[in-house]
Amino acid sequence: MGAILSGCESEVRSSNNNAAKLTNGEQAAASQNIEVWPKLNPALDPDPAVEAKISHLMEKMTIEEKVGQIIQAEIKYITPEDVKKYHIGSVLNGGGTYPNNDKFSSPQDWLELSEAFFKASMDTSDGGVAIPIIWGSDAVHGHNNIVGATLFPHNIGLGAARDPEMIRRIGIATAKEVAVTGVDWTFAPTIAVVRDDRWGRTYESYSEDPAVVGAYAQAMVEGLQGDKSDADFLRGENLVATAKHFIGDGGTVRGIDRGDNQVPERELAEVHGAGYLSALPAGVQTVMASFNSWNGERLHGHRYLLTNVLKERLGFDGFVVGDWNGHRFVPGCSVDSCAAAINAGLDMFMVPSDWKALYHNTLEQAKAGEIGTERLNDAVRRILRVKIRAGLFEHIRPLAGKDGILGNKEHRELAREAVRKSLVLLKNNEKLVPINPSQNVLVVGDGAHNLSKQSGGWTISWQGTGNTREDFPGATTIFEGIQAFVAASGGQAVLSESGDFSASTFANGGGPDVAVVVYGEEPYAEWHGDIASIEYQLGEKSDLAKLKALRDAGIPVVSVFLTGRPLWVNKELNASDAFVVAWLPGSEGQGIADVLFTDENGNVRYEFSGKLPFSWPEFVHQTVLNPYHDEYQPLFALGYGLGSESESTVSNRLSEDGETYSIGELEDAWVLVSRPRAPWGLYIDDAGTLTSVTGNRMASPDDENITVASIDMESQEDARAISWKGARSGAVRLMANSKQDLSRYLAESSALMLDVRVDRKPSHSVTAEVRCGDGCVGALPLQSYLAELEPGSWASISIDLQCFAEQGADFGRVSEAFALASEEELNMAVANIRYVPGAAENAMVKCAG
Ligand code: BGC
Ligand code: BGC
């Protein structure tokens, strides 16, 4: 509770730097106090002509047509015929969905599908009213779902630039690229103000500073939609924008995606509301409800926040769209039925696949009065208002199908400018950078020539995974940018991902004069990207090894760090002479060379000007670190960033002891929560043959004796189904590369907890294991417990860690946090595997201790 504030009075600085005081009483309860929200007028004056047109349309609409308007389905699951038949109001393409299921669909293919949906929506042959459909897409760093688009740096990098005017230009460019494909609406910007950097959407946030988010939200909305006073506002080359995710998405406890935000209302308004207070006056037309809850109540069903605050107090007259099946989290709701969300103030359901069932149920609820007529009419009125304002009835699409806009030179130049301005220089011993280019430059690291890694999540695919060079026509890697510039300046740059080099590496026979090492996080997106620890390469450290090897060879080392959030990198900092945070720069990798190198005469070409949008941690426990926090002791403060000429001040001997668990309370140790959590990786062990489980489905070689597949328990792919055919005995193991000290979990009476589902009661031996290297294992028979479960249903199991210890597990050096072994045929599923402090007492399986 009150995660970021403690003491009886804490300060929350609002955008204008007036200090607002929070008292203890306010922190304690979620008592509602509408006064903490400013009273805003609607951004646009009511337009009687528009309202009259809406009334006219609505008089003719049947209740079926009205319900159709409030449904948004996904293009994989709906056809133009369906749109016509059910009078569906909207479609979206999710991350990684393309027309015809083809990643390489051309802009023309996108446009054709869009035209087909439009025509279907305007088809009145069944006697209905023609209402244009609206198509939404996540253009969150450029039109990132389409191959060939310009990919701008992710928001966190833009935050470092502190340049709202540039943000506006990026909005304009993005709108144009989207408009080419016939998409009317983008689910951007994300205006989350992040508190716990372990959240997997931290990079979608501009900053932890509400003032930066406030300024950017306005600029981006104006860039995407146009200025509200312009004649072509929302039309022509402009789009409809979304402020998301309302509200408090960045403030969930422990940074858990879709979790609970427990701050007092004043903080909700002043910190998490900062972007809304500027996006709404700028005229943003849609707001997306968030998955998260506020003090236990889900936003999708939050009448007070959606209706009383957003629509009434903040004067929002556009429409509230749900997030991906987000309504199903509301108590009493399911994916296909949720009157409560509409009644609370949601105007449009985002219901990708189950739209038909939801449509029928909602229609029944509307007919039965479970959803009031007035509320349904208000939702439809809001949707029609936005459609009219956006000119969808006129269907004027000046950019539709135009060649030469998507990924054009001008937009790529702008993205490159954004890359330059996003770079934050943290360390620069002896002014190593900017580097003179007329030298031998060794370019090292798996991020140097890797467009996937430099682009991050929400890139062509949802998680940004599975992309190769072919998926980025027109893009430039960081290495390519360096290579071209250095070559043109009389030097030579050579790529060596491993860092190895020899006497023949450089044409001039010399050794490297400097090494530029590019490394960092692998792509991820929402909720898959949540992490348990902010330590970079926890349990691995292969990049550190490269830095050290170069250092040992006497080569000055520049780190270029690709990341979606601040991470604990003291070791990497110590091993680098200079350290640049490049965030997730996107398609224009040349922007890095622009700043990293001087001209051939040693003159600075572009200053390092990026300022940290997030505070940088000195210790591993500093996951919630911002100036609004009482104990603010960052390694680098919010706003830090060296200029090209400034002296570096950071020590070369930062503490390398992460002090992970000695400070503060011991938290749950996640092993597999949605996905395996670092340092743990999931492996199939088929009679000794190990297979690493990487995709959604993986099987042991040859006869697929053991299979692991991702399935849904509560949310997408949060569980794993495991099947043993029984040809040989085998196991699934959660293993780390190096031994982990988990002894504090044993000391603090923890239990291993997991959710399981058995498809049939096992009649043979099934064991749970914790391993600690060769011959060191604690194994427990599990079948009698599994036999008590009801087949086909999920149940949770908890085992006192002491039981594993008594059987021989040494928690001081754990190599496998959990394994399940079976000798014969078995089908079961597992989820949420974790060590929970204090849970031993009530564990299902207990031991003496
Ligand atoms: C979709 C994404 C969506 C996600 C929600 C994915 O399958 O492609 O667009 O955000 O599911 O869980
Ligand atoms: C995400 C949203 C996104 C939507 C559609 C959801 O899972 O939370 O940000 O707009 O999917 O892809």
Cis peptide before 247 (omega within 30 of 0): yes
Task: Give residue 323 CA to ligand 1 midpoint distance, Å.
Answer: 10
Separate counts of helices (H) and strands (E) for the chain:
23, 33
Q: Which residues of 261-287 are buried (b: 16+ CB within 10 A; e: fewer)?
A: bbbbbbbbbbbbbbbbbbbbbbbbbbb
CATH of region 669-842, choose from 3.40.190.10, 2.60.120.430, 3.30.559.10, 3.50.50.60: 2.60.120.430
- Name the maximum alpha-carbon separation found in the chain: 83
Q: What is the 3-state secondary structure (H, E, C) of 586-648?
A: CCECHHHHHHHECCCCCCCCCCCCCCCCCCECCCCCCCECCCCCCCCCCCECCCCCECCCCCC
Q: Which atom of ligand 1 is nearest to the CA of 97?
A: 8
Instruction: Please give the structure tokens belonging to residue 61.
Output: 């609409």
For residues 289 and 300, what is the distance between their CA atoms, to the nearest angstrom?
A: 6
- Please give the DSSP secondary-structure letter assigned to residue 272: I
403 tagged catalytic: no
Nearest protein CA to atom 8 of ligand 2, as residue = 323
Instruction: Please give the structure tokens belonging to residue 724.
Output: 């043993």
**Residue 439: C-alpha distances to residues 436, 483, 504, 589 (Å):** 7, 11, 15, 20
pLDDT value, residue 631: 81
322 lines ligand 1 (CB under 6 A): no
Q: Which atom of ligand 1 is nearest to the CA of 324?
A: 5
Tell which residue, 190, 186, 191, 157, has the closest CA to residue 173: 186
DSSP-H helix ranges across 226-367 = 265-267, 274-279, 303, 339-344, 355-367
Cis peptide before 791 (omega within 30 of 0): no
Task: Choose, from 526, 618, 685, 718, the residue flagged as catalytic.
Answer: 526
Q: Residue 712: nearest ligand to its CA?
A: 1
* SS3 category, 766: strand
Q: Residue 136: nearest ligand to its CA?
A: 2
Task: Give residue 324 CA to ligand 2 midpoint distance, Å.
Answer: 6
Q: Do domains 14-389 and 412-596 have the same CATH topology?
A: no
Q: Where are the domains of the chain?
A: 14-389, 412-596, 669-842
For residues 349 and 359, what is the distance between their CA atoms, to the nearest angstrom?
A: 10
For residues 119 and 273, what is the distance between their CA atoms, to the nearest angstrom?
A: 38
324 lines ligand 1 (CB under 6 A): yes
**Residue 233: C-alpha distances to residues 44, 172, 222, 228, 803 (Å):** 11, 12, 9, 5, 66
pLDDT value, residue 622: 92
Tell which residue, 196, 240, 235, 203, has the closest CA to residue 220: 240
Task: Give residue 465 CA to ligand 1 midpoint distance, Å.
Answer: 13
Q: Which atom of ligand 2 is nearest to the CA of 95?
A: 12
pLDDT value, residue 713: 85
State which of 72, 321, 716, 717 you would mutate to test the pocket of ligand 1, scoring each by most atoms of that ligand within 8 A of its C-beta. 716
**Residue 355: C-alpha distances to residues 65, 349, 360 (Å):** 14, 9, 9
Tell which residue, 816, 806, 696, 820, has the closest CA to residue 755: 820
458 lines ligand 1 (CB under 6 A): no
Task: Give residue 408 CA to ligand 2 midpoint distance, Å.
Answer: 27
Q: Which atom of ligand 2 is nearest to the CA of 187?
A: 10
CB distance 616 to 640 below 8 Å:
yes
Q: Residue 464: nearest ligand to its CA?
A: 1
Nearest protein CA to atom 12 of ligand 2, as residue = 94
Nearest protein CA to atom 10 of ligand 2, as residue = 187
Task: Give residue 446 CA to ligand 2 midpoint distance, Å.
Answer: 29
Phi-psi region of 447 (alpha: psi -120 to 50; beta: other; left: phi over 0): alpha
96 lines ligand 1 (CB under 6 A): yes
437 lines ligand 2 (CB under 6 A): no
Task: Give residue 96 CA to ligand 1 midpoint distance, Å.
Answer: 8
Task: Give residue 136 CA to ligand 1 midpoint distance, Å.
Answer: 13
Q: Which atom of ligand 1 is nearest to the CA of 96?
A: 8
Q: Which amino acid is at 422?
A: S
Instruction: Please give the structure tokens belonging to residue 353.
Output: 């696949």
At the topology level of CATH, where does 14-389 sit?
TIM Barrel (3.20.20)
324 lines ligand 2 (CB under 6 A): yes
- Positive or negative torsion for Cα 800, 802, 806, 808: positive
Q: Residue 92: nearest ligand to its CA?
A: 2
pLDDT value, residue 124: 96
526 tagged catalytic: yes
Q: Which atom of ligand 2 is nearest to the CA of 94?
A: 12
94 lines ligand 2 (CB under 6 A): yes
| Cβ atoms within 10 Å of 692's Cβ, excluding its own | 11
For residues 205 and 414, what is the distance between their CA atoms, to the nearest angstrom?
A: 20
Task: Give residue 323 CA to ligand 2 midpoint distance, Å.
Answer: 6
Task: Give residue 187 CA to ligand 1 midpoint distance, Å.
Answer: 12
Task: Give residue 182 CA to ligand 1 midpoint distance, Å.
Answer: 21
**Residue 704: C-alpha distances to residues 170, 697, 723, 727, 829 (Å):** 49, 11, 10, 9, 17
Task: Give residue 55 CA to ligand 2 midpoint distance, Å.
Answer: 32
Regions of the chain where pLDDT drops below 50: 1-30, 661-663
Task: Give residue 462 CA to ligand 1 midpoint distance, Å.
Answer: 6
138 lines ligand 2 (CB under 6 A): yes
98 lines ligand 1 (CB under 6 A): no
| Residues pairing with 298 in the sheet | 293
294 lines ligand 2 (CB under 6 A): no
94 lines ligand 1 (CB under 6 A): yes
- Positive or negative torsion for Cα 668, 672, 677, 681: positive
pLDDT value, residue 7: 28
Tell which residue, 351, 356, 210, has the closest CA to residue 279: 210
> If residue 682 lies in a helix (H) or strand (E), which one and from where to where?
strand 681-686
- 321 burial (CB, 10 Å; 0-12 / 13-18 / 19+) is buried
For residues 240 and 137, what is the distance between their CA atoms, to the nearest angstrom?
A: 11
For residues 301 and 469, what is the distance between their CA atoms, to the nearest angstrom?
A: 43
CATH dotted code for 412-596:
3.40.50.1700
CB distance 134 to 140 below 8 Å:
no
Instruction: Tell me the pTM.
Output: 0.82
716 lines ligand 1 (CB under 6 A): yes
List, as own/partner pairs, every contact residues 11-16 make where C-beta atoms lie below 8 angstroms and the sequence separation is at least 24, other chains included: 11/628, 12/266, 12/267, 12/270, 12/271, 12/628, 13/210, 13/211, 13/627, 13/628, 14/210, 14/211, 14/270, 14/274, 15/210, 15/211, 15/214, 15/215, 15/274, 15/277
pLDDT value, residue 306: 98
State which of 135, 257, 324 you would mutate to test the pocket of ligand 2, scoring each by most atoms of that ligand within 8 A of its C-beta. 324
* SS3 category, 17: coil
323 lines ligand 2 (CB under 6 A): yes
State which of 324, 329, 354, 718 you would mutate to test the pocket of ligand 1, scoring each by most atoms of that ligand within 8 A of its C-beta. 324
CB distance 43 to 280 below 8 Å:
yes
For residues 601 and 457, what is the distance between their CA atoms, to the nearest angstrom?
A: 38
Q: Give DSSP secondary structure letters for 116-149.
A: HHHHHHH--TTS------EEEE--SSSSTTSTT-
Instruction: Please give the structure tokens belonging to residue 794.
Output: 């999920």
Q: Residue 716: nearest ligand to its CA?
A: 1
Nearest protein CA to atom 7 of ligand 2, as residue = 324
136 lines ligand 2 (CB under 6 A): no
For residues 320 and 376, what is the distance between their CA atoms, to the nearest angstrom?
A: 13
pLDDT value, residue 532: 84
For residues 338 and 332, what is the distance between their CA atoms, to the nearest angstrom?
A: 8
Nearest protein CA to atom 5 of ligand 1, as residue = 324
pLDDT value, residue 714: 77
Q: Which residues contact 123 (CB under 8 A, 6 or more apart)?
A: 84, 130
**Residue 674: C-alpha distances to residues 641, 713, 716, 718 (Å):** 35, 10, 8, 4
462 lines ligand 1 (CB under 6 A): yes
Task: Choose, from 323, 417, 446, 497, the residue flagged as catalytic.
Answer: 323
Instruction: Please give the structure tokens belonging to residue 265.
Output: 């209302």
Instruction: Please give the structure tokens belonging to residue 688.
Output: 């000794």
pLDDT value, residue 665: 65
Q: Which residues contact 371 (CB under 8 A, 6 or more apart)?
A: 339, 342, 343, 362, 365
